[in-house]
């Protein structure tokens, strides 16, 4: 399910070619998930990596995640407090 979420988020990414010929990418529903690259391919790979790290931090802290293409990961993610109290 997480891989599907990442793929759907990546499908919603927006890319721009900058004046210096490099690329900028962002995922609008995932605030702060941005990346740069010398090529579009490099930018896409960097953006995926940033997204994965962003998701790990959000999940670890029990933050809510944006719903992407009706895919809601929030239902099964315990908050940090819940996870600690279970252990």
Give the 3-state secondary structure of 15-77. EEECCCCCEEEECCCCCCCEEEECCHHHHHHHHHHHHHHHHHHHHHCCCCCCCECCECCHHHC
Q: Give the per-residue pLDDT at 27.
A: 98
User: Do the beta carbons of residue 62 and residue 79 sit within 8 Å?
Assistant: yes
The answer on pLDDT for 83 being more than 70 is no
Give me the CATH topology for the region 2-86. Answer: Double Stranded RNA Binding Domain (3.30.160)
pTM: 0.84
Domain boundaries, the chain: 2-86
The Cα 61–Cα 33 span in angstroms is 17
The answer on pLDDT for 9 being more than 60 is yes
């Amino acid at each position: 399910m997480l891989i599907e979420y990442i793929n759907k988020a990546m499908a919603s990414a927006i890319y721009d070619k900058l004046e210096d010929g490099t690329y900028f990418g962002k995922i609008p529903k995932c605030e702060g998930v941005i990346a740069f690259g010398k090529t579009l391919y490099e930018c896409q790979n960097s953006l995926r990596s940033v997204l994965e790290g962003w998701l790990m931090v959000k999940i670890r802290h029990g933050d809510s995640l944006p719903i992407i293409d009706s895919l809601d990961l929030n239902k099964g993610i315990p908050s940090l407090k819940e996870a600690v109290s279970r252990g």
